[in-house]
Amino acid sequence: MIRIKDHKQLEMFDPWQFLSPKRRRMLDEGWPGLFRNQLLCELPVTEICSFFREDFGRPSKELYTVLGVLLLQQTMDLCDEETIEQLAFNIQWHYALNITEESDSAKYISEKTLWSMRQRLTENDLDRLMLDKITDKLAVVFKVNTDKQRIDSMHIRSNMRRLGRVSIFSQTISKFLVNLKRHHQNLFDTVSPQIRDRYMGQKALTAFSLVKPSEAEKSLQTVSSDLFDLIEQFKDAPKVCDMHSYKLMKRLLNEQCNVDRSNGGPKVKVKAPKQVPSNSLQNPSDPDATYSGHKGQGYQVQIMETFTETENKKEKNTTLNLVTHVCVQQACEHDSEAIMPAIKDTQRRGLAPSTLLSDTLYGGDDNVGAAKVQRVELIAPTYKGGNPNCLSLSDFKFDDNGQVTACPCGHTPDKTKYSQKTDRHSAYFDLNHCRQCPHVEHCPVEAGKKQFYLRYSAKDHRIAVRRAMETSEEFIKAYRWRAGIEATMSQYDRLTGVKRLRVRGFEAVRYCATLKAAGLNLLRAAAVRRARLRAQQGRTSPFFMPFPIIKEHIANLVLGLDRLINVQPSWLASYYKLAA
């Protein structure tokens, strides 16, 4: 049965009247008041109702409470036991979730309920829907301007150990043997005693960490041979082949080894590190985790947020920078693949930017062109390769059609040509001028029999124009605001603990990172709301008025007294002159 409380229905008597005015004001001005008044009714209760029946089963927990608890759990970075305690005793949670009853059914939730509801949200992508609804509501309430946004990625890790190559092999074999013994004891007895002694038990596994660096290659060859022998031994056993741990061994063999079946029998040879793909198995406890050569094992999350171009501290504190898009990816995926999904996602929800700042990895020519089609200006530096002392195409001058009009030394080409078939430009320079040029050795022109040639594609021209623009004041002034997203990444980690999660697997990591981003929006919005309220109090309360405004009020008071009594005591003369 479904239990849903109508939080829009007003109470006849205030259930929070037992709170003192100061404590009540703290709740109203903080995140509990914001969540209760603006976001509680936005939780996707309608979508979660489809998993329950109204006419059958035990009554469910109040669904707004359950969804709110799951969101606050990730926001505050709590385990299940801590979450149950907060719901039971924390008045901030009671106020935020609008729980007015003093019963176990209202203020207690079991670990089983938390686990099952979290599973339903994860399997049906309702965590993304929750983020969208909360973000869209905050954008309306705080009137967020989404024209200017910035994007970056963060490396995050699941609850797994960082393993070397030998440990990956040994842990994978050990996991298979443990499961084989648990489910198929008779087949486990057929495994070689040497292999069982080598990989079964904690002491056996720790022996691999004691290997000297000089003997690591020999140990790697040993564990890879044992892996191959186990795969070959059970390849004709259907029950074993269907085991998840057996499939992990096959995957590991394909990704890390080459099997040579010629010359009298199969031989296993371990691949060189450069030949191992970045999406290879990093830990058997989390098969979805991949490898990034820059940041290591784990996952990555793409974050896009709004920003305002202001140096005024008061205006900064009262303007909400809202996270508009979150996407969890494998660590091996390139950042350039995240631009267009982010733009399309925000366009679908009416939060699309007109200007988007990013770093070099996002700003490829294809992405710039695709974003322009979607009416988004993507501002990012170009990749600067090659020798910095040499001249590049960006040092030449071009006309509106992409043809060269002058070289870096000011010489005009004798002839220019564009081939529509190959989409390439050509410029021909005088032979004598180029030979006598002091920069000819560092210039991209090539010597021919009759002339010097400069050949470049339309893409090369677009990149050259962008590279030349990067030195302009306009680009520097616009791009300086991209660095602000680093503070967002730090806040995302410090407040929600997103960099080191308690879960494993891609779906669970996505669920946590998504709800933590929604929680970050909640905490940021609460801080902005508090700053706005204090700014309003400062303008209206006489205790926060500047001295000139206080003098003006006193002068107006004196004028009013003069009209009433037509008497001017001597001590009011100075104020009367001020008012006049």
pLDDT of residue 545: 44
Contact 514, 127 (CB under 8 A): yes
pLDDT of residue 506: 95
Per-run averaged pLDDT (10 residues), the chain, 580 residues: 79 85 92 94 89 77 92 95 95 94 91 93 94 95 95 94 88 93 93 88 63 71 90 92 94 91 79 90 92 89 94 87 95 93 95 95 92 94 79 86 87 87 88 85 86 88 88 92 94 94 95 96 95 78 46 57 53 48
For residue 113, give both structure tokens: 């309920």
For residue 400, give both structure tokens: 């509106």
SS (H, E, C) 413-480: CCEEEEECCCCEEEEEEEHHHHHHCCCHHHCCCEECCCEEEEEEEHHHHHHHHHHHHCCCHHHHHHHH
pLDDT of residue 217: 76
Domains along the chain? 1-124 (no CATH), 125-160+301-381+470-540 (3.30.420.10), 165-275 (no CATH), 393-468 (no CATH), 545-579 (no CATH)
- Residue 328 pairs in a beta bridge with 301
pLDDT tens readout for residues 420-461: 888 889 989 888 888 888 888 888 888 888 889 888 888 888
Contact 24, 515 (CB under 8 A): no
* Beta-sheet pairing, 355-357 with 377-379: parallel
Beta strands in 133-249 (DSSP E): 148-156
Task: Give the whole-angstrom CA distance, residue 243 versus residue 496.
Answer: 36
Check the CA dihedral 496-497-501-506 and report its sign: positive
